[in-house]
Amino acid sequence: MEYSIGEFSKLTGLGIHTLRYYEQEGLIAPERNSGNRRCYCDKDLTWIAFIKRLKETGMPIKEIKHYAELRAAGDPTLSDRMEMLVQHRQALNEQIARLQEHKIKLDEKIEFYRNEIEHVQTRKLPTFAC
């Protein structure tokens, strides 16, 4: 299947302006039809899904652009791309670990607050909790 930018925008949830911006930044290069209109295909759909994944995991546009360039160069860049992904997985694992640590601390703080609120009215002095 082929899609106009409007259709593709709805399918990806990305906004027409954003799609044009991504093209300008070199993330995606849709075909053009006779009248110079962008013509996205199903491969673009899976590619955008992957771009969204990379973005949501904190990869900046510049780096995604680099990956896109390697991808466009075909099989000879397979191992370069894999190396990028392995690096990114490493960063992602660290990010998840940090967030889990933050979650533990946040849980503790909430417990502390729950306790404070329970007892604040039986005390005379204020606590000034964080």
Partner DNA sequence: ATACAATGTAGAGTGAACTCTATGTCAAGA
Partner DNA sequence: TCTTGACATAGAGTTCACTCTACATTGTAT
Contacts of 60 (CB under 8 A, 6+ apart): none
Bridge pairing between strands 31-32 and 38-41? antiparallel
Only segment of 1-9, 19-27, 30-38, 51-59 that touches a second copy (CB under 8 A): 51-59
Angle (CA) 104-107-108 rounded to 5° is 90
Closer of 65 and 88 to a second copy (Cβ): 88
127 binds a second copy (CB under 8 A): yes
Q: How far is the CB of 21 from a second copy (least distance, A)?
A: 21
Q: Considering only CA atoms, which of 66, 25, 30 is closest in space to residue 47? A: 30
- CA quadruple 70, 75, 80, 82: dihedral positive or negative? positive
41 binds DNA (CB under 7 A): no
Site size toward a second copy (CB under 8 A) is: 41
Q: What mask, x for binding a second copy by CB under 8 A, covers residues 67 to 106? A: ----x--xx--xx-xx--xx-xx--xx-xx-xxx-xx-xx
Q: What mask, x for binding a second copy by CB under 8 A, covers residues 11 to 50? A: -----------------------------------xx--x
DSSP 66-126: HHHHHHHT-GGGHHHHHHHHHHHHHHHHHHHHHHHHHHHHHHHHHHHHHHHHHHGGG-SS-
- Where on the chain is the footprint of a second copy (CB under 8 A)? 46-47, 50, 53, 56-57, 71, 74-75, 78-79, 81-82, 85-86, 88-89, 92-93, 95-96, 98-100, 102-103, 105-107, 109-110, 113-114, 116-117, 120, 126-130
